[in-house]
Amino acid sequence: MNHDLVPQDEVYSRISRLKKQMHEFGADIAILRHGPDLYYFTGTLQDGHLVVPLEGEPVYFVWRSFERAKAESPLSEIVKIKNFSELEKRVKEIFSRCQRGTLWTTLDAIPYKTVQFYGERLFPGFEILDCTHFIRTIRAIKSPWEIDKIRGACRIIDNAMEKVREWLRPGVDELAITARLECFLRENGHQGQLQMRNSLVGALPMTQVLTGPHGAIPSFTLTPAGGPGVSPTMGVGAGTRSILVGDPVSVDIGGFFQGYLGDETRIFSLGPLKSPLNDAFEVCITLMERLERELRPGVRAGAIYDIALNHMESTPFLKNFMGYSEKVQFVGHGLGVEIDEYPFISIGNDMTLESGMVVALEPKLVFSGLGIVGIEDTFLITDLGAERLTLFPRGPILIQ
């Protein structure tokens, strides 16, 4: 296996921050089971349960694959289990001193029966509380090691966008471009899907190529664009529509590099965009330039959304902002291991931006019957302001 493994100091630094939160908010034990959380705190994604006591070493109880967990995770305590009964036995052997207290787990992502098992069989008498917010807060601040991976993802996206410029021709359909694009991404190390914590299906396609009116079709995803997909079983993303002259072609790529994601959207067009799409796109560019100046430590995330909304109120396109018939109330999101991490640049969000956060801003305008225009870039928040990580020209990218 040719993986860039998560360094030991990365993993133990993350666990140390979790324990600090546990101490501050009164938790005695945390159990993590959600896949991206397991990867973040162990350095591998194997079928298991990570138990983190406030005092003492964390223990990763692994069913499958124990061998890979041992090879990929730098944790010192990895215990092989065969089933839930053995998990109960081994937990009670190792944590017999824990009689009662507060148990943390991620109630947003763990099945109810598993939570019952934790409370009734592993740690009876413990009060179970949700630690999702604390986990996501810890993950919001990226280390230099993580930022390096996100930079790699963004470079791959930029290269993929250059390929799209070559492939777009009249009569080519969305799926054909999608297939070539996803092949390119896979050849450059993409995992093949985007982990999305709040998605109905848990993961999304790595690209979204939508032409003309397809860009205005809503879907189950909490995103400004949906697309028809190829079937109601996954009604999102590209369909079979062919690209026509004057269409806006929205290409949204969730790039991946060694565990971490970047996000970028560009609008391509065969010839000039139809009215009013060209004017609308210029509004998106102006708004993006305004918002990226606001990405700095100490700024409230919701205040940036308010700036975006106020800006749109001074244009003819407020009704088209971030959706048409079904709008979303955000203009950006954090990203890292998952595509929807803290902070959300959303209405009423009081989270304060900090240095080390990575944010994708995506001001977009949706027009029924015409499609979607807009832009998305990934930024690193630093003490000096925002550093743009996705560098492909903002466009619109006209194909003659």
AA letter at 392: F
Tally of domains in the chain: 2
Cα 65-68-71 angle, rounded to 5 deg: 150
Q: For residue 384, what are its two tokens?
A: 């000096």
**Same-domain status, 37 and 120:** yes
pLDDT digits (tens, 9 = 90+) for 184-239: 999 999 999 999 998 787 888 899 999 999 999 998 888 898 999 899 988 888 99
**Domain-terminating residue out of 121, 138, 155:** 138
Cα 324 from Cα 371, distance rounded (Å): 10
pLDDT digits (tens, 9 = 90+) for 22-45: 999 999 999 999 999 999 999 999
Mean pLDDT over all residues of the chain? 94
Q: What is the CATH number of the domain that holds 379?
A: 3.90.230.10
Percentages helix, strand, coil for the chain, rounded to the nearest 5? 35, 25, 40
**Same-domain status, 267 and 161:** yes
Q: Give the DSSP letter string of 22-63.
A: HHHHT-SEEEE-SHHHHHHHHSS--EEEEEEESSS--EEEEE
Cα 11 from Cα 37, distance rounded (Å): 11
Domain presence at residue 203: yes
**Residue 114: is it exposed, middle or buried by C-beta count within 10 angstroms (0-12/13-18/19+)?**
middle
**Same-domain status, 39 and 173:** no
Query: What pLDDT does residue 3 have?
Result: 65
**Same-domain status, 124 and 147:** no
Query: What pLDDT does residue 162 have?
Result: 95
Domain presence at residue 48: yes
Q: Give the DSSP letter string of 213-250.
A: GGGG---SSSSS-----SSGGG--S--SPBP-TT--EE
**Same-domain status, 128 and 241:** no
**Same-domain status, 204 and 333:** yes
Contact at 8 Å (CB) between 197 and 278?
no
Domain that holds residue 107: 8-138
pTM over 0.85: yes
Q: If you average pLDDT over residues 118-122, what whole number do you get?
A: 94
Domain presence at residue 349: yes
Tell me how far the alpha carbon of residue 181 is from its chain's centroid.
19
Provide the percentage of residues in the chain whose pLDDT is more than 70. Answer: 99
Which of 175, 97, 109, 96 lies closest to 136, judged by CA? 109
Instruction: Say whether pLDDT at 98 is over 80.
Output: no
**Domain-terminating residue out of 138, 154, 169:** 138
Query: What pLDDT does residue 283 have?
Result: 97
Domain presence at residue 369: yes
Of residues 291 and 234, the one with the higher pLDDT is 291
